[in-house]
Amino acid sequence: MFILMYVSLAFGSNASALVKDIGPEQFPINEHYFGLVNFGNTCYCNSVLQTQQKKKENLLTCLADLFHSITTQKKKVGVIPPKKFISRYEKKMVNLFDNYMQQDAHEFLNYLLNTVADILQEEKKQEKHHGKLKSGVSSNKAEEKKTEPTWVHDIFQGTLTNETRCLNCETVSSKDEDFLDLSVDVEQNTSITHCLRDFSNTETLCSEYKYYLFYFIFFLYRMRVKKLPMILALHLKRFKYMEQLHRYTKLSYRVVFPLELRLFNTSSDAINLDRMYDLVAVVVHCGSGPNRGHYITIVKSHGFWLLFDDDIVEKIDPQALEEFYGLTSDISKNSESGYILFYQSRE
Ligand SMILES: *[C@@H]1O[C@H](CO)[C@@H](O)[C@H](O)[C@H]1NC(C)=O
Ligand SMILES: *[C@@H]1O[C@H](CO)[C@@H](O)[C@H](O)[C@H]1NC(C)=O
Ligand SMILES: *[C@@H]1O[C@H](CO)[C@@H](O)[C@H](O)[C@H]1NC(C)=O
């Protein structure tokens, strides 16, 4: 269901080198490793597309067409220009962004997943509506409004529980919130496991002035994972707003991401505790800040690792992943460091 797409066009030399690196006999049947041509600062887009899997044209049909044109290529490796998809995407973004500014891969991932989910939900609603009209059953407004889960939700959606503890009255309440990816804070010389533990253990203090009671009520909020998704997308918050500088700066901290990840202690009523995950893809940010840099992607396919850098696709050793953990020195901000991690559940 979740098809990892490896998309960037090789102008001959690189393509044949990849076939040679993998070995013509070992080359997976039905796989196509294609680079995506970068149309000026679209690598934030390519880097996320390189990790993913007809009617009126929309972002989803353009994406499907792109994947279709890759999977039906005669050549096993190559390069393809994601022109239609990019122009469709940019048409939407024209009011929001300027193409010639660096975009954020995490924002793009979020936008893509939410937009695809919205398109699918709208289609389901239309189908249901037409089905009802045909069968003559009067439609129920409340039922029509209900949103149904789509394959985007089946793959990426997990649930967080927001536990609220009132310090004045010692009552605890909780509220569930769905997520498609988790954004975690990063610290120097740590690991993603540590960041996740901090994510669950961080309590935020908030207060509310109850004027009719004439005093403040203090609350502690804590977010814990309740339901784990099939694909866990972890966004490392490497861009931090510096008040003194009035701009975002990059935290190049070394954060180790293991090939295997087990999530401990999620919420006490968690549904699928202790799931085992395998790393399947990493979006890497190269550079010193959100507006200065480049994105590349590393994807696992049939047991080997491939690096996609726009139109270049290379096979790399698994040990080379260590080069993307980040830096132990706090002085240098310029790094090639893991930015979005994709872990796939074993079950
Ligand atoms: C948790 O819930 C409270 C109350 O609804 C809200 O104020 C707070 O922002 C929530 N925390 C997060 C991280 O969503
Ligand atoms: C997980 O939770 C259990 C009980 O809720 C606790 O005893 C245990 O120490 C926790 N483990 C970790 C690794 O936090
Ligand atoms: C991180 O680790 C490196 C090498 O192990 C060390 O030199 C550095 O001081 C550490 N940084 C922090 C902030 O602990």
Q: What contacts 224, CB < 8 A, 6 or more positions away? A: 160, 161, 163, 200, 265, 266, 267, 270
pTM of the model: 0.81
* Pairing mode, strands 304-309 and 292-301: antiparallel
Instruction: Kindly state whether residue 120 falls inside one of the protein's structural domains.
Output: yes
pLDDT at 6: 36
Number of domains in the chain: 1
Tens-of-pLDDT digits for all 347 residues of the chain?
A: 233 333 333 333 455 677 778 877 777 777 777 777 665 556 555 666 665 544 578 888 888 888 888 888 888 788 888 888 888 887 777 666 554 455 788 988 998 899 889 988 988 888 887 777 777 666 566 665 667 889 999 999 999 888 888 887 878 888 999 999 999 999 999 999 999 888 887 777 887 776 666 677 788 888 888 888 999 999 999 998 888 888 888 999 999 999 999 876 555 665 656 778 999 999 999 998 877 788 999 999 888 899 998 888 899 999 999 999 999 987 777 899 999 999 999 87
CA dihedral 56, 62, 68, 71 (to 10 degrees): -170
Cα–Cα distances in angstroms (integers) from residue 54 to residues 66, 82, 120, 177, 209, in the given order: 13, 18, 12, 32, 54
**Which ligand is closest in space to the CA of residue 162?**
1
The dihedrals phi and psi of 80, each to the nearest 5 degrees, come to -140, 140
Ligand 2: does its nearest atom lie under 6 Å from the Cβ of 264? yes
Residue 317, in any domain of the structure: yes
Q: Which ligand is the nearest neighbour of the Cα of 224?
A: 1
List all residues 6 or more positions away from 86 whose beta carbon is below 8 Å from its beta carbon: 39, 42, 45
Judge whether 7 lies within some domain.
no
Q: Please give the distance, rounded to the nearest whole angstrom, from the Cα atom of residue 333 to the centre of ligand 3.
A: 15
Q: Which domain holds residue 198?
A: 15-345
Q: How far is the CA of 265 from the centre of ligand 2 (A)?
A: 6
Residue owning the nearest CA to atom 8 of ligand 2: 265
Query: What CATH number should be reported for the domain holding residue 25?
Result: 3.90.70.10
| Cβ–Cβ < 8 Å for 178, 152 | no
Residue 10 within any structural domain of the chain: no
* CB 241 less than 6 A from any atom of ligand 2: no
Strand partners, 343: 232, 279
Residue 1 resides in a domain = no
Long-range contacts of 314-318 (CB under 8 A, 24+ apart): 314/14, 314/17, 314/18, 314/21, 315/18, 315/21, 315/22, 318/259
Buried-exposed string 20-29: b where 16+ CB fall within 10 A, e elsewhere: eebeeeeeee
Q: Best mutation site among 194, 261, 265, 273 for ligand 2, i.e. most ligand atoms within 8 A of its Cβ?
A: 265
The answer to whether residue 246 sits within a structural domain is yes
